Structure 1
Amino acid sequence: MSSSKDTLTFPKTIQPSAVHSTQKVSSFWTDLNLNWLSSSFKHSAAILLFIAIWEIAPRIGLVDPAFLPPFSTVLVSGWNLIQNGQLLTHLQASLVRSFSGFILSILIAIPLGLAIGWYSRFSEFLSPLLEVFRNTAALALLPVFILFLGIGESSKIALVTYACTWPILLNTISGVRNVDPLLIKSARTMGLSPIQLFRKVILPAAIPTIFVGVRLAGSFSVLMLIAAEMVGAKAGLGYLINYAQYNFQIPEMFFGIISITTVGLLFNYSLLFIEKRLTAWKTER
């Protein structure tokens, strides 16, 4: 019979099962981090290559650094704009104008698109007028907006609203008209009233198509605003780019372009997130 001294004991804090569990958790997080790094590199490889070419080409003389400064020089100039507060001022002015026009276009285009898509007589009445205006370029109307609304904020917000309205409106009409007829027939056989049919069937089925237009409008809200800010503005990213180009401050000009791109990407991913939350019922294929 063996004595208790021969029995192998472990301290409570270092039990074999606890050590094994700790190793498994550590291995899990290591694999997860490696997978995340690998995935991130695959998705950003083209961007990293582009930045590397941008940095190297001016330094080895492939392009004139006066017209295309190295990427690091652009970042240094951008950091100076951030430190002196200029970038924040221009960014805030652009975001207020862009967001205001974008929200107004949603409030106008979605209800109007739902009505046009659902009521055929209303559609027949408005369609000729809509065809005329949707084929009129937004920038072509900028002098008209300035003439009636002045050179201040109202004309810029109106231009953004006009440009953003069309993709939302057309996709809303398309979304309502392309709802599966079987869904509508099934809902009617269940005794749903027209209002219930519209609220519980038509609108949910049309949301994915509507959000395609909303995301397009998000891009237009930035693009049209930049063009508007290049005429008669005293602040904004478009003004920053135009002012830097006019004074041959090329690094600042490129950083303004990068800032616009970043704003557009963040806007698009924010809308994607909202879309996924609103269309969580969809079956992924």
Structure 2
Amino acid sequence: MSTTSESLPKVALNEPWEPAFPPAPVSVRAPGIGRRTGAFVWRLLTPAVAIAAFLALWEIAPRTGLVDEVFLPPFTTVIGAFADLVGSGGLADHLAASLSRALVGFSVAVVVAVPLGVAIGWYKPVADLLNPILEVFRNTAALALLPVFVLILGIGETSKIALVIYACTFPILLNTISGVRTVDPLLIKSARSLGLPSYRLFQKVVLPAAVPTIFTGIRMAAASSILVLIAAEMVGAKAGLGYLVTASQLNFRIPDMYAGIIAISLVGLVFNGILVSVERRLSRWRADR
């Protein structure tokens, strides 16, 4: 059926058009909040579930006879021994001894390796001079040199700190060299075209771009400092977490031995968490941060 123009409503051209029915109210919600919250909760729950499952297996396996309870006590027994060590102050003494050695050696390695890595990565004559000797020593395991350090520096604190310095230097050094050499050449050319002097080029372009790679080496060195130090303390020491583990094993205090191992793991986690936080503060320019 055709509709004539007479049946259509007449609307003045200068009057605004209004709909016959008002639109339904639209709820305003920040986009992605629910998705981000769910992702955050999932990131928290996933490791928590894995850790809880591992601890439950540790608790159940000795009590059900899957493993010998003498050699692997239940988790609650180990936690009791851990609490006893904390209460008696013994764990604090061993922890202080290990941390002092690890932090001194690690700090010296950072102070030495980062500037040296920048020099090797940026200046070709320095790289040509030092690369041969670096290739020799970086393939030599730190623990293989423990007898050498003990013979030259004695069995005291100096040999342990020197071993930590040696173990930490190469991860930091090699990653610093890689970070400096892999800076985007366009960034360097752009900075030079703007007339930046060399020291400002390092400060504003090279070092910020190399920070993520440098911190990868620093985190690897932090783990190496703890592992190498624990091994050194097991060989010859009168205090430290490595000594605690070895002495507990020899005296057949198995729960104390596992408590020392847990303490070593916690130290590593805290150390790594601190370094990750520092890296994020220094890498705030990155888009993914």
TM range (shorter): 0.7 to 0.9
Match of 2:150 in 1: 146
Determine whether 1:120 maps to 2:124. yes
Match of 1:237 in 2: 241
**Given the alignment, which residue of 96, 99, 115 partners 1:111?**
115
**Given the alignment, which residue of 156, 160, 170 partners 1:156?**
160
The ranges of structure 1 where at least 4 consecutive aligned residues each deviate by more than 2 angstroms after the TM superposition are 34-43
Determine whether 1:131 maps to 2:157. no
User: Cα distance, 1:87 vs. partner?
Assistant: 0.5
Pick closer, same or farther for the CA change 1:192–1:38 going to 2, 3 Å. Answer: closer
**Given the alignment, which residue of 181, 187, 192 partners 1:183?**
187
In 2, the alpha carbon distance for the partners of 1:82 and 1:196 equals 50
Match of 2:283 in 1: 279
Match of 1:219 in 2: 223
**Given the alignment, which residue of 169, 176, 179 partners 2:173?**
169
Higher Rg of the two aligned structures: 2
Which structure 2 residue ranges, 5 or more long, are not aligned? 1-36
User: Cα distance, 1:197 vs. partner?
Assistant: 1.6
User: Cα distance, 1:36 vs. partner?
Assistant: 7.2
User: Could you tell me the percent identity over the aligned residues?
Assistant: 60
In 2, the alpha carbon distance for the partners of 1:187 and 1:180 equals 11
User: Cα distance, 1:93 vs. partner?
Assistant: 0.3
Q: Which moved more, 1:99-108 or 1:39-48?
A: 39-48
**Given the alignment, which residue of 200, 204, 207 partners 2:208?**
204
Q: Secondary structure at the match of 1:262?
A: helix
Determine whether 1:250 maps to 2:236. no
Pick closer, same or farther for the CA change 1:253–1:284 going to 2, 3 Å. Answer: same
1:51-92, Cα deviation, whole Å (9 max, x unpaired): 000000100111100010000000111111111111010000
Match of 1:22 in 2: none
Match of 1:193 in 2: 197
Which structure 1 residue ranges, 5 or more long, are not aligned? 1-31
Pick closer, same or farther for the CA change 1:112–1:86 going to 2, 3 Å. Answer: same
TM-score of the superposition, structure 1-length normalised? 0.86
Q: Secondary structure at the match of 2:235?
A: coil
TM-score of the superposition, structure 2-length normalised? 0.85
1:210-249, Cα deviation, whole Å (9 max, x unpaired): 0000111111111011001011100000000000111111
Match of 1:10 in 2: none
Which structure dedicates a bigger proportion of its chain to helix?
1
1:85-107, Cα deviation, whole Å (9 max, x unpaired): 11010000000001111000001
Pick closer, same or farther for the CA change 1:65–1:279 going to 2, 3 Å. Answer: same
**Given the alignment, which residue of 76, 90, 109 partners 2:94?**
90
Matches within 5 A, 1:10-25: none
User: Cα distance, 1:139 vs. partner?
Assistant: 0.4
User: Cα distance, 1:43 vs. partner?
Assistant: 2.4
Question: Which one-letter code corresponds to 1:146 in the other structure?
Answer: V
